[in-house]
Amino acid sequence: MDELLKRLKIGDEEAFEYLVKFYERQLLIIAKLRLNDEHLARDAVQETFLSLFLNSMKISNSKKIKPWLTAVLINKCNDLARENKIMQVSFEQNDFENFIYSDDEFKNIIDKIDFVSKINLLDVDERTIIAMYYEGEYTTKEISEILNISNGTIKSKISRAKVKLKNKIGGN
Residue 36 has a pLDDT of 77
Residue 115 has a pLDDT of 59
Q: By three-state DSSP, how is residue 120 classified? A: coil
Alpha-helical segments (H) within the chain: 2-9, 13-35, 38-55, 65-83, 96-100, 109-119, 124-130, 140-147, 151-169
For 27, residues 6+ apart whose C-beta sits below 8 A from its C-beta are: 45, 48, 69, 70, 73
Residue 169 has a pLDDT of 66
Domains of the chain: which residue ranges?
Answer: 1-88, 98-172
Residue 48 has a pLDDT of 94
Q: What CA–CA distance (Å, rounded) separates 103 from 23?
A: 19
Q: What is the mean pLDDT of residues 151-159?
A: 91
Label residue 69 exposed, middle or buried (CB < 10 Å: 0-12, 13-18, 19+): buried
Q: By three-state DSSP, how is residue 92 classified? A: helix
Residue 38 has a pLDDT of 87
Q: What would the pLDDT profile of 86-110 be if each residue is shown by its tens digit? A: 654 433 344 444 444 344 444 444 4
Rg (CA), the chain: 16
CB 128 within 8 A of CB 30: yes
Asked whether the predicted pLDDT for residue 81 surpasses 80, the reply is yes
Give the CATH number of domain 98-172: 1.10.10.10
Instruction: Give 1-88's CATH code, choosing from 1.25.40.10, 3.40.50.10090, 1.10.1740.10, 1.10.3720.10.
Output: 1.10.1740.10
